[in-house]
Amino acid sequence: MLLVIVLSIAGLIGYSYYYYTKAYDTTNKPYKNYIGYVDQENALLNDTYQLCGDGYIQRTYNGAGLEAYSINKGHFRDQLNKQNSFSQYQDSGYLNFRFLVNCEGNAGWFEVVEMNLDLEEQKLNSNLVNNLLEFTSQPEHWNILSYKKDNTPYNYYMYISYRIENGKVTEIIP
């Protein structure tokens, strides 16, 4: 009986040691950061706005989704079609933006991934990318999200993917 107790305590100590020292060590791992991580030093438009508070980012695992769109996603799509003429472009693929929105609803800190329709990295027309970046970064498109408990606004992670076919945005995800 004493042996079982000693082995249980040793196992608990060993597990605790592993959990607190090794389990979350990302030093030699291929993915060193959490899912919603945006490298703020290398991101585009990283010097336009400041993150609020201590800079903590909410909603890093799935983004803010449809809640983030000002008014709604349909309005966002309508504004995109009204403000931009894509007739001069012939590109097809996906243009993905990963970015942060601060507690004032200002979007910045953009990372861009350009892909073809087979989801292989491929550059798209730089003017098309710049037009969509400029549109996406406009503060009027993003809500200020707040904690329900005390209504304090917070910084959040967001992503948006544009499916482009022959220069026309055919789908916006999410």
User: For residue 123, what is the DSSP state?
Assistant: -
Higher pLDDT, 16 or 125: 125
Token pair of 70 as six digits: 């000002």
pLDDT of the residue at 162: 95
Token pair of 41 as six digits: 């030093």
C-alpha 141/C-alpha 111 separation (Å) is 18
| HSE toward the beta carbon, residue 102, CA cutoff 13 A | 19
Mean pLDDT for the chain overall? 86
Q: Please give the torsion angle defined by the CA atoms of residues 81, 82, 84 and 86, in that order, rounded to the nearest 10 degrees.
A: 50
For residue range 73-111, what is the model confidence (pLDDT) as tens digits?
999 999 998 887 777 889 999 999 989 999 999 998 898
pLDDT of the residue at 37: 66
